[in-house]
């Protein structure tokens, strides 16, 4: 299953922590989005067994003062 993980933080973090997901072999894509009034956003596109694994992998990454959203991506 594929999941899009959005991270909103005061500074760019998506590029910093993508290495852990890359080493685990679950990262498909990552990047930072255009900054806006709420801070900086970034994303990871990961391929894992289920939502529980997606949540567990994100919990292992130190993301201080961040808002994280995990959404399943429909694969057609």
pLDDT at 75: 79
Residue 23: partners with Cβ closer than 8 Å, 6 or more residues away: none
At 45, which CATH number? 3.30.70.260
Query: What pLDDT is stored for residue 1 in this prediction?
Result: 94
pLDDT of 40: 78
**Domain boundaries, position 29:** 2-73
**pLDDT tens digits, 15-33:** 667 788 889 899 999 887 7
How many domains does one find in the chain?
Answer: 1
Over residues 37-70, the pLDDT tens digits come to: 666 788 899 999 999 999 999 888 887 778 899 9
CA gap 67, 38 in Å, rounded:
10
In sequence order, the 6+-apart residues with CB closer than 8 A to the CB of 49 are 1
pLDDT tier at 10, thresholds 50, 70, 90: confident
């Amino acid at each position: 299953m594929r999941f899009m993980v959005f991270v909103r933080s005061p500074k760019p973090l998506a590029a910093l922590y993508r290495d852990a997901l890359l080493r685990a072999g679950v990262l498909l894509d990552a990047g930072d989005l255009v900054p806006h009034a709420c801070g900086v956003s970034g994303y990871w596109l990961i391929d894992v067994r289920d939502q529980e694994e997606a949540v567990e992998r994100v919990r292992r990454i130190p993301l201080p003062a961040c808002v994280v959203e995990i959404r399943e991506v429909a694969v057609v």
